[in-house]
Amino acid sequence: MPKQRSIESNIARLSLISNLILMGLLIISLLVSDISQWLILLIGVLSSLLVLWTTQQIKQRLTYQSKSQANLLEALICGDYSLRARRFPNDHGVSPLTNTINQLAERLSKQRWQSVESQLLVQTILEHIDIAILALDKHHCITLYNPAAEHLFGQSISHAQASLPKSLHIAKSLKCGAREVIELKVHDQLTKFSLQVEQYKDSGQTNKLLLISNVHTILRTEQQHAWQHLIRVISHEINNSLSPISSISQTLCKVIGKQPPYPQQNQLISSLQLIEKRASGLGTFIEGYQQIAKLPDPTLAPCVLSSLLKKCTTLFPDIRSDISPSCNITLNIDVIQFEQVLINVFKNACEATPTETQTHIDIHCYQTPKKIHITLTDNGLGVNNAENLFVPFYSTKAQGSGIGLVLCRQIIEAHQGRLSLENNPSRTGCILTIELPLQSSMS
């Protein structure tokens, strides 16, 4: 294939031909005229030199502008928007194209910086937002996994790649913009999450964006506030009625006791004393429920867990407890509230153990990257209705008030922790687990 001339060479060639034709006509005119041959020769030489020089200048400038524009366009294609084309002064023929290319480079450079800043903003939001965000491609593989998702599910993207897509299979059937409350097993516990599905395009492919937020804590908080409000209202109304009942019963007992003896006097006094006693008992009962509504914020202080456990076990001489050496750690907790939790747990363990069997509790501690876990395992009969364990006023015991475990969970959650109770899968009994954030541990 013959080598093609560049556009600069063609323009220079055309310029040279036209100038040579004009110069030839000039020389012919001079020859026809009565002019010295030496003068004609001199004019021809000077004209030839001038033609060659102008042709060379035209080619040089065109070549420079063409290569500059080609290099600039190539740089733009490669993503380098820092280069600019230089133009010659008074070069009005090529300047508009050069200026346009320079403006294009300036515009693309500005758009690139805006894109980089937007990406940094999105990246910052993804890293600091407390909503777990996952992106799934058409093969249902995770392509985006922000730190909130890693914290929520407690596993890196490599481990989540194998398990999470199967757990989130419901996302396949949800349309863009749909929202659903789902249950996922996280840290060996079923937890409720709000799942919202959106769509976005990446390289022409439509992918799904999953926004997952833990509504378990929100629902728990709202439920707790509702119970606290209910307890405050009920306590207020009942106390308003109990106070005059108790006071009038005492007054009537004194008045009747000062009267001369008459039939049924003792029976009447006994009945009034029973009314006063039951009113006082009901008042004490209501005060127990008010603990849930008036639980103060924890006052944190260093405490050796093993010492606190030994102190609590002395209150229950019938319990045989095995405290692991792993419990010899210092926690930053509210000692009084935490002691109340342990006392309630030991009391429930005793009540859940058959009378012919001695209560036995194994206590262990272990640490994960972000939490301290305290497990208490008893040898009782286990739980029958685990769904209602933490419902206020619910109790499976005849004399139970239904506030013990609720109060325990509220105390642990006030320490930014979590309390769970489940049946022991290996033998009879229950396993109560207290999870505290790692910053609670001081050693």
Indicate whether 1 pLDDT > 50: no
pTM: 0.51
* Amino acid at residue number 102: N
Q: For the residues 273-281, what does the mean pLDDT come to?
A: 77
Q: For the residues 327-353, what does the mean pLDDT come to?
A: 87
- % of the chain beyond a pLDDT of 90: 3
Tokens of 174: 């949800």
3-state SS assignment for residue 312: helix
- Map 402-425 to HEC letters: CCHHHHHHHHHHHCCCEEEEEECC
Q: What is the pLDDT of residue 364?
A: 92
Beta carbons of 92 and 124 less than 8 angstroms apart: no
Cα distances (angstroms) measured from residue 190 to each of 52, 132, 387:
89, 17, 11
How confident is the model over 356-369, as pLDDT tens digits? 778 889 999 988 87
Beta carbons of 330 and 436 less than 8 angstroms apart: no
Residue, of 188 and 348, whose pLDDT is higher: 348
CATH topology of domain 301-440: Heat Shock Protein 90 (3.30.565)
Mean pLDDT of the chain: 76
Q: Where are the domains of the chain?
A: 7-106, 124-214, 219-293, 301-440
Residue, of 165 and 330, whose pLDDT is higher: 330
* CATH 3.80.30.20 corresponds to the domain 124-214: no
Tokens of 211: 């926004």
Banded model confidence at residue 101, pLDDT cuts 50, 70, 90: confident
Indicate whether 400 pLDDT > 60: no
- What CA–CA distance (Å, rounded) separates 179 from 176? 9
Q: For the residues 60-73, what does the mean pLDDT come to?
A: 73
Residue, of 116 and 370, whose pLDDT is higher: 116
Q: What is the pLDDT of residue 375?
A: 92
Banded model confidence at residue 285, pLDDT cuts 50, 70, 90: low
Indicate whether 157 pLDDT > 80: no
Q: For the residues 396-417, what does the mean pLDDT come to?
A: 72
Q: Do domains 124-214 and 301-440 have the same CATH topology?
A: no
Banded model confidence at residue 374, pLDDT cuts 50, 70, 90: very high
Nearest to 248 by CA among 220, 275, 222: 275
Banded model confidence at residue 93, pLDDT cuts 50, 70, 90: very low
- What CA–CA distance (Å, rounded) separates 248 from 270? 14
- What CA–CA distance (Å, rounded) separates 85 from 74? 12
Indicate whether 403 pLDDT > 80: no
Q: Which residue has the tokens 């693309």?
A: 108
State CA 242 to chain mean position distance. Answer: 49
For 223-232, 356-365, 377-386, which range has the lowest pLDDT when averaged over its residues? 223-232
